[in-house]
Structure 1
C-alpha cells in the first residue's frame, strides 16, 4: 500500500488547542502518512453570500482536500454540549459543494475537552451531523479526552497509558478501514 494521505480537522482554531495536540498524537500513532491539517478559518455560512459569489475558495480547497484524502481525522471540543460552531460551519459549507467529498470516506472521530466527559456529547452529535454525507465513520473505540489541558506532556504526547492505547486502537482500525 502506498503512503496514505490523512486530513486532520480540529474543531478548535486555537494554535495550542488540545484537539490539535490530540490529532498530532493520532497521526504519530498512525505511523507513515502524509498529513494535511485543514484550515477552518472560513466565513460564516450565509445563503445570500453563496448565491451572490458562490462557494468561497477556502471552502472548495477544504472539500477538495477531503475528497482527495485516504481518510479524515476529526477532533472536536465540546462547547455547551455540542461540537464547536467552527466545525459545524465547515460542515455546512462543505455540504454546499459538489462531488460529495465525504462519500464513503473513512473517518475517525475523537474529542478533547476541559470537562469530565471529554466531549462525549459533542462526539455523539458530530456523528449525527455526518450521517447525510455517508462517510464510513468508525464506531470506535471512542476517544474522549477529559480534562485535556492536563493530559499532554511538554513534548505534546499523551501522558495517560489508557488514552494512548485507545487512540492506537482507533488508528489501527482506521488503517484497516483505509485498506478495505
Structure 2
C-alpha cells in the first residue's frame, strides 16, 4: 500500500481543480491517501528578505514533510493567463528554498482543468517542465477542457475524457506498486 498525497495548486474556495482532485481521489482504493485543501495554507509572497528575517513557517515545513513522506502525488494545477497561479508558483518557490529536491523520489499524476477549451494546458506544461527540477517523476498527465460542460457531481461527463482520466490514474497507481 502506497502513501499518496493529493492537492490542487489553488487557494480558491471554489477551485475547479480541487473538484477534479476530489473526484480522482474518490477513485483510489487500497492506498493510504491524504487530501490537502490548500485554502488552509496561506503563505506570504516569497522574499529573500523575509526568508532571512523570519525563516520558514511551520506550515511550510509540515507541507514539505507531507510531500517527502508520500510515495505519490496527485496534483491538479490551475491556470491564470496561460501560466500557473501566482499562489502555486509561490508555494513551489518556498518549498524549493527549504529543500531543493523536495520531490525526490515522488511519482506524480499531474492534471489541470479550466473553463476554457484548452483545459489549463499552458499551466500543466509549465509545471510538467518544472517539477522534475525538484526531483519529481511525472508518471501521467491529464487535462480536462471546458470544465463546466464536462464535469458534474457525478464526475466527468464526456466518455472519452472519462476514459483518458481513468487511464492516467491507473498508470499512476500501477507505478506505485
Q: What's the TM-score once normalised by structure 1's chain length? A: 0.89
- Is 2:145 the partner of 1:146? yes
Match of 1:100 in 2: 101
- Is 2:112 the partner of 1:111? yes
- Is 2:124 the partner of 1:123? yes
- Is 2:165 the partner of 1:164? no
Cα 1:132–1:161 change in 2 (3 A) is same
Which blocks of at least 5 consecutive residues in structure 1 are unaligned? none
CA contact (8 A) 1:30 1:172 kept: no
State the shift of 1:164 in Å.
1.7
Match of 1:70 in 2: 71
Match of 1:87 in 2: 88
CA–CA distance in structure 2, aligned partners of residues 137 and 170 of structure 1: 11
Cα 1:144–1:98 change in 2 (3 A) is closer
State the shift of 1:178 in Å.
1.2
Which blocks of at least 5 consecutive residues in structure 2 are unaligned? none
Higher mean C-alpha deviation, range 89-98 or range 9-18:
9-18
Q: What's the TM-score once normalised by structure 2's chain length? A: 0.90
Which deviations, in whole Å up to 9, do the C-alpha atoms of 1:67-115 show, x marking residues without a partner? 0112111111221111111111111110011383200210110101111
Which deviations, in whole Å up to 9, do the C-alpha atoms of 1:27-67 show, x marking residues without a partner? 12232332231534222111111101111111111101100
CA–CA distance in structure 2, aligned partners of residues 50 and 9 of structure 1: 25
Structure having the larger proportion of residues in strand:
2
State the shift of 1:151 in Å.
2.3
Higher mean C-alpha deviation, range 58-67 or range 13-22:
13-22
Higher mean C-alpha deviation, range 49-58 or range 5-14:
5-14
Q: How many residues align?
A: 174
Supply the RMSD in Å over aligned alpha carbons. Answer: 1.7
CA contact (8 A) 1:71 1:105 kept: yes
CA–CA distance in structure 2, aligned partners of residues 28 and 123 of structure 1: 22
2:4 to 3, 6, 17: 6
Cα 1:174–1:57 change in 2 (3 A) is same
CA contact (8 A) 1:109 1:123 kept: yes
CA–CA distance in structure 1, aligned partners of residues 135 and 9 of structure 2: 20
CA contact (8 A) 2:4 2:74 kept: yes
CA contact (8 A) 1:145 1:163 kept: yes
